[in-house]
């Protein structure tokens, strides 16, 4: 038999929940991507477009993966079998998500190079590595072979904590 809750008890629970919400720290992250030829915040998309966005899958042809293996930078530092030896990352000056990724990866203590795609050098490197979105972080093993890519801090953390068996 269910117990009856009084209005006062429910009001007290609501007040406690509101108090907890006032102590929440952080800020909402906006994701921008192209839709019908221009960039727009995903939160402003209609229900159908949001569903399409969630179903997107990144892929690359075999010849692109082979070319990247040949051109990948090689790290001189020895690395564990489960850890990347180096990485490169791509950002853009107007990207709302790039500062958080850049700040996080700069503190990793792994050999790395950063490129800003607003520059001709950065754009050329992005073409070379088939990078279509920013931020993008590409991790390499000690032999210079691409292990995996990540596009935000959450993905980077997940990839670094996961075994290399999930590598590309």
Whether residue 36 has pLDDT greater than 50:
yes
User: Can you read off the two tokens belonging to residue 16?
Assistant: 């406690």
How many CA within 13 A on the CB side of residue 32? 12
Comparing C-alpha atoms, which of 60, 80, 104 is closest to residue 163? 80
Give residue-wise pLDDT tens across range 44-92: 888 888 888 777 766 666 666 566 555 554 443 444 556 788 999 999 9
Percent of the chain with pLDDT over 90: 29
Q: What is the mean pLDDT of the chain?
A: 80
- Coil, strand, or helix at residue 164? helix
What is the pLDDT at residue 139?
93
For 18-80, give the DSSP string.
HHHHHT----PPP-EEEETTEEEEGGGS-HHHHHHHHH------HHHHHHHHHH----SS---
Backbone phi, then psi, for 116, in 5-degree steps? -105, 120
Which domains can be identified in the chain, with CATH numbers? 27-57 (no CATH), 62-166 (3.40.30.10)
| pLDDT 10s digits, 91-117 | 999 888 899 999 999 988 889 999 999
């Amino acid at each position: 038999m269910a117990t009856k809750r009084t209005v006062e008890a429910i009001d007290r629970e609501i007040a406690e929940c509101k108090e907890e919400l006032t102590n929440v720290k952080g800020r909402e992250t906006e994701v921008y991507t192209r839709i019908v030829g221009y960039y727009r915040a995903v939160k402003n998309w209609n229900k159908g477009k949001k569903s399409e966005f969630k179903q997107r899958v990144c892929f690359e042809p075999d010849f692109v993966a082979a070319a990247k293996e040949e051109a990948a930078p090689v790290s001189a530092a020895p690395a564990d079998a489960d850890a990347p030896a180096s990485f490169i990352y791509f950002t853009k000056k107007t990207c709302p998500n790039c500062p958080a990724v850049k700040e996080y990866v700069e503190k990793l203590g792994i050999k790395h190079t950063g490129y800003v795609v607003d520059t001709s050098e950065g754009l050329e490197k992005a073409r070379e590595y088939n990078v279509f979105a920013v931020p993008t972080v590409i991790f390499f093993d000690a032999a210079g072979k691409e292990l995996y890519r990540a596009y935000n801090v959450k993905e980077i953390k997940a990839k670094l904590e996961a075994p290399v068996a999930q590598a590309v």
